[in-house]
């Protein structure tokens, strides 16, 4: 019987900037990328002191403020090894609203984070990324389908996909790849909180809502945080060297 050699790390020596990195998917990405051999910069709104893996530094920044985004990118690019990966994971999800109750101020807030924030990251990172670099924008299943109660979120995630595809066309000649990952429902604390708040409307507990979502997939399970993080790492890695301008659903095969 032979023993398989240890797998090489997927992201050896990569330098990655991750926005929305204090909690949820963004925080999980930093931890996993570090285990895969990457270092880099974690970016999010000011909060508790950063606790990050070796090789990572934290920068407090609001993605809706272009100057702060530019500063975070400059900090990352100022490292001796520069930067060759970006994940735009910062985002907000609004509360459910019936169409006639759509709050346009809330729409502005969602678009400011989910669209303006992504645009600012792509603008400033695109100016410093070298050939072979990769960017992943965190979209959603709502990047390709609508929802009757979260118009602003759907609009923002459609726009984020448009930004990613446009950036892919613009930066492709420079050897930079841009893709979008599209998670389905993932049982993060934020999603469970939203499901609790919607229980009065749906009549479903968070556990029941997750089970219902799982029943709509080919795999009969919802995607996990690890599923989304691993798909993002793949898109950042050299294994995806021929992929750009694409939307990669990670949703268990949503039917």
The residues carrying an active-site annotation are: 153
The pairs formed by 169-174 with CB atoms below 8 angstroms and a separation of 24 or more are 169/245, 170/126, 171/126, 171/129, 172/244, 172/245, 174/129, 174/131
DSSP, collapsed to helix, strand or coil, labels residue 154 as: helix
- Maximum C-alpha span of the chain: 67
For residue 151, the tally of other CB atoms under 10 A from its CB is 19
Helices 189-202 and 206-215: angle between axes, nearest 10 degrees: 90
CA 180/CA 201 separation, integer angstroms: 31
**C-alpha distances out from residue 106 to 41, 88, 190, Å:** 29, 21, 18
Angle CA 76–231–155, to nearest 5: 80
């Amino acid at each position: 019987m032979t023993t398989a050699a240890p797998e090489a790390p997927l992201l050896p020596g990569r330098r990655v900037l991750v926005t929305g990195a204090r909690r949820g998917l963004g925080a999980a990405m930093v931890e996993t990328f570090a285990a895969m051999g990457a270092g880099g910069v974690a970016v999010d709104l000011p909060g508790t002191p950063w606790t990050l893996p070796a090789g990572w530094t934290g920068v407090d920044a609001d993605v809706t403020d272009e100057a702060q985004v530019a500063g975070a990118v400059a900090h990352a690019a100022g490292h001796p090894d520069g930067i060759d990966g970006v994940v735009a994971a910062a985002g907000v999800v609004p509360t459910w609203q019936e169409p006639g109750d759509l709050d346009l101020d809330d729409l502005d807030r969602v678009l400011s984070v989910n669209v303006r924030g992504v645009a600012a990251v792509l603008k400033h990172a695109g100016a410093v990324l070298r050939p072979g670099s990769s960017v992943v924008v965190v979209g959603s299943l709502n990047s390709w389908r609508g929802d009757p109660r979260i118009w602003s979120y759907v609009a923002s995630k459609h726009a984020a996909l448009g930004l990613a595809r446009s950036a892919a066309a613009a930066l492709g000649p420079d050897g930079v790849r841009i893709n979008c990952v599209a998670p389905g429902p993932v049982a993060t604390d934020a999603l469970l909180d939203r499901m609790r708040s919607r229980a009065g409307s749906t009549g479903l507990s968070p556990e029941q809502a997750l089970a219902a979502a799982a029943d709509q997939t080919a795999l009969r399970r919802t995607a996990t945080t690890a599923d989304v993080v691993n798909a993002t790492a793949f898109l950042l890695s050299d294994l995806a060297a021929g992929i750009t301008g694409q939307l990669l659903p990670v949703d268990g095969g949503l039917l």
